[in-house]
Structure 1
């Protein structure tokens, strides 16, 4: 027997609800959407959000691994907010949707954190 349960507002969100969520600039312009999250298996912390942008109907889509700290949730837009201009977006480390980032290469991850001026989730580099 199911009962109606009143749920209280909370700060948690299921990973499948994050995937597909829009990523916007502070002015509301859409950049892309969250393709998936990368979670550290040992700590359980979200390390990266993979931003999908560009392309048409999945063709020519670029994937941009973003350190999770670079995103904030904007309740007005109901989207994640990323303060990034077009030039910074074009220069950012990214990979094509038909390839994959080498997550086993810590030097590539260190490069991401240097680019975004964020400390790496695993400690100093």
Structure 2
């Protein structure tokens, strides 16, 4: 088998074409830095999936139903806090009032979601949450 020599310019062009086919290595024109962090995947797997919590009733410490978990949102702010969007009031989806509370304020035990010190009235007094348009 005869070996065909590759010229440096052709090799560079081939490398650039290959890199370009994998998508941009830059976002918004700036290089990206990815920091890896080791995660205990066994412990993480025992957590609660957002898809399974959606629609769960939310109770207070008196075991009163005070709302429903509508959604979870990760804030775009630098702190990247997660917020629970609760649906309060209404009937069959009509007249419901959405509010945002910090996810860390919720207590979750066996898929039972508790916001201990809240009442339906205190949640309805919070500013209404509205989703941004897609």
Q: Verify same fold: TM over 0.5.
A: yes
- Where do 5+ consecutive residues of structure 2 fail to align? 1-41
Q: How high is the TM-score relative to the length of structure 1?
A: 0.58
CA contact (8 A) 1:37 1:46 kept: no
1:68 Cα deviation after fit: 1.0
Q: Does 1:36 align with 2:43?
A: no
Question: Which whole-Å deviations, capped at 9, do the CAs of 1:71-92 have from their partners, x for residues lacking one?
Answer: 11144xx421112134422321
Of 79, 82, 99, which aligns to 1:64?
99
Q: Against the structure 1 CA distance between its residues 16 and 65, is the aligned structure 2 distance closer, same or farther, given a 3 Å change threshold?
A: same
Q: Which residue pairs with 2:118 in the alignment?
A: 84
* 2:57 counterpart residue number: 22
TM normalised by structure 2 equals: 0.55
Structure 1 unaligned regions, length at least 5? 1-7, 104-125
Per-residue CA shift, 1:32-74, capped at 9, x if unaligned? 1110100246889651000012111111011011111211114
